Structure 1
Amino acid sequence: MAAEQAGQLSVLARLLYPYAGDRSEVVARRLIRHFGSIRTIWSASIEALDEALAQAEECPAEVGALIVAARQLAEAAAREALIGQPIDTRAPEFRYYLVRRLGMRREECLMILFFTGEGLFLAEDFYDGGQRAEVTIPLRQTVRRALDLDARRLVVAHNHPSGSAEPSEADIAATAQLRRVVEALEVGLDDHCIVAGNVIASMRSMGLI
């Protein structure tokens, strides 16, 4: 375990070196101590990163933005690999993708994923909760985006930072409203997945869709 932690520290320090220089290991150690793991650092919002480093004189202001930019680059690469591919939204690989995107976020975030009628991945929209405890499903934007993409199927996913994947009453009501709206436009709502850490609850499997 000690060797693994040393390896994580080394990787993070190398990422930070262009900005933090000789202080990169000190900054990396501070981040790991505050967030507890590389995975949590990687998932943290810019606000959370800046707050964690606000008291660190040795930390350049650009470090939080650097980590977020690196994450966005990795996410864009993963998303690009899905475009035009047939996706089984019940498959473990798809669920793992959702876990990677949402599982360790400390604020509630929302993803809308768009597919053709044959299940080919078209695009996704990501809504960061920022400082809010929860996010709502943006109906107008989702409908407009689905029509622009000529999407025929949707999957909604959001996380519960509380650690419980159980859908709330608000989740169930918002999902029902979205389903009514999109199905009137001949767009199917395949699922609404709740992500909590490594656990995913499928509202479709629970009979809530």
Structure 2
Amino acid sequence: MDNSGHRERLRTRFLKSGHDAFADHELLELLLMGVVLRRDVKPIAKALLSRFGNLNAVVAASIPELTNVDGVGESIAIHLKAVHAILLRGEKENITKQPVLSSWASLLNYLKLDLEHEKREQFRVLFLDKKLRLIKDEMMGDGTIDHAPVYPREIARRALELSSSSVVLVHNHPSGDAKPSPQDIVMTKKIITALEQIEVKVIDHIIVGFEGSVSMKAIGLC
């Protein structure tokens, strides 16, 4: 089937009207047209959105998850993952070049892009220098769907190795609900105590879920 006319109409509309005039599946079609040269990509775009729910979830999905969708091969999956990597890198650059407190929106966007659709719980620590700029974003716990082991002494040791003066704690809730659990509160207090002994400050503990994110500092728990 020759769908060159449909492709050209999409391109022309995008040039004239920009992305605001496009439905999600049409934006995804435009993206897929760059890697699928002849096939009709509309069914593939709609299948991806049906499977994952939204554009962020599509590009955040793993390669095995993507290639399980009808019509999606390795080339398409790699293309989509490259888009995700570009988005992440752009947001990470924003929080590396300036203090995180003045780029808080970029920090939240970075964490949302990276973690909101993660299927396993991760505990991450953003190690900051004296000017509150990012030194390193490091996973300190990788676990199951509802638990990631965390060791406060290991976080303290790593902070010393990196000459970090403060940290932002981060973890995700694969359930989607970012409300802190009693275990989250206890663990946060243990980490704060461990880091106080080496004069490293915990700026915040952010919990990420696909229903939103929660700052434990903002609700008085950090």
What is the rounded CA distance, in whole Å, between the counterparts of 1:23 and 1:141 in structure 2? 51
For residues 38 and 21 of structure 1, do their structure 2 counterparts lie closer, same or farther at Cα, with a shift above 3 Å needed?
A: same
Counterpart Cα distance in 1 of 2:152 and 2:48 = 37
The whole-number CA distance in structure 2 between the counterparts of 1:133 and 1:68 is 25
RMSD of equivalent CA atoms: 3.1
What is aligned with 2:207?
A: 194
Please give the per-residue CA displacement for 1:162-184, whole angstroms capped at 9, x wherever unaligned: 23221012212222222222222
Task: Confirm or deny that 1:22 pairs with 2:38.
Answer: yes
Q: Does 1:34 align with 2:51?
A: yes
Is the CA contact (8 Å cut-off) linking 1:44 and 1:106 kept in structure 2? no
Give the counterpart of 2:147 among 134, 138, 152. Answer: 134
Q: How many residues align?
A: 202
Larger radius of gyration: 2
Relative to structure 1, the CA distance from residue 110 to residue 14 in structure 2 (aligned partners, 3 Å threshold; closer, same or farther) is farther
The gaps in structure 2 that reach 5 residues or longer are 1-19
Question: What's the TM-score, normalizing by structure 2?
Answer: 0.73
Summarize the Cα distance change of 1:40–1:191 in structure 2 as closer, same or farther, 3 Å threshold.
same
> TM-score w.r.t. structure 1 length?
0.77
% identical aligned pairs:
26
Instruction: Note closer, same or farther for the CA distance 1:119–1:10 as it changes in structure 2 (3 Å cut).
Output: same
Offset of 1:24 from its aligned partner?
6.8
Deviations 1:120-169 (A, max 9, x none): 22221247958644323354653343223211100012222323221012
Task: Answer whether contact 1:156 1:191 (CA < 8 A) is retained.
Answer: yes
- Which structure has more relative contact order (CA 8 Å, sep 6+)? It is 1
Residue segments in structure 1 that go unaligned for 5+ positions in a row: none
Secondary structure in 2 matching 1:88: helix
1:139-158 paired onto structure 2 within 5 Å: 139=152, 142-158=155-171
